[in-house]
Amino acid sequence: MTLLGFYLLARGLAARLPPMRAYLIVLTVALAGFGDAPWWSFPLAGACLTIDGWWAKIMAAHRHKSPLWSSKITTYFITGALSDMCCAALSYGAGRLLRCWFADWLG
């Protein structure tokens, strides 16, 4: 289910709603955590968030013939990728906590 969700985000649904792709990815990984998906769902979501954030920047730099990569861009990329992983992990953890809370609440 999780891989299907990421595939749908990458293909049709996310292409129609460009400003909301990150929210859809975070919501999908939270639902994956709630649905007791494997732990490797959140690194996949973190990679999707990183690609979503950097794809436009790299394409714009390529069109304007500016230097494609520098040490400053490397620092920004690594920091952004780590923060995307943390965001995905927190979202996955929130889904898992919500699942545990509902399990305790419902009996």
- Tens-digit pLDDT profile for residues 15-45: 555 567 888 899 999 999 999 899 898 899 9
- What is the distance between the alpha carbons of residues 91 and 35, in angstroms, rounded to a whole number? 13
Say what the pTM is.
0.75
Burial class (CB in 10 A: 0-12, 13-18, 19+), 46: buried
- Tens-digit pLDDT profile for residues 34-79: 998 998 988 999 999 998 888 777 777 767 776 777 888 889 889 9
- What is the distance between the alpha carbons of residues 14 and 34, in angstroms, rounded to a whole number? 22
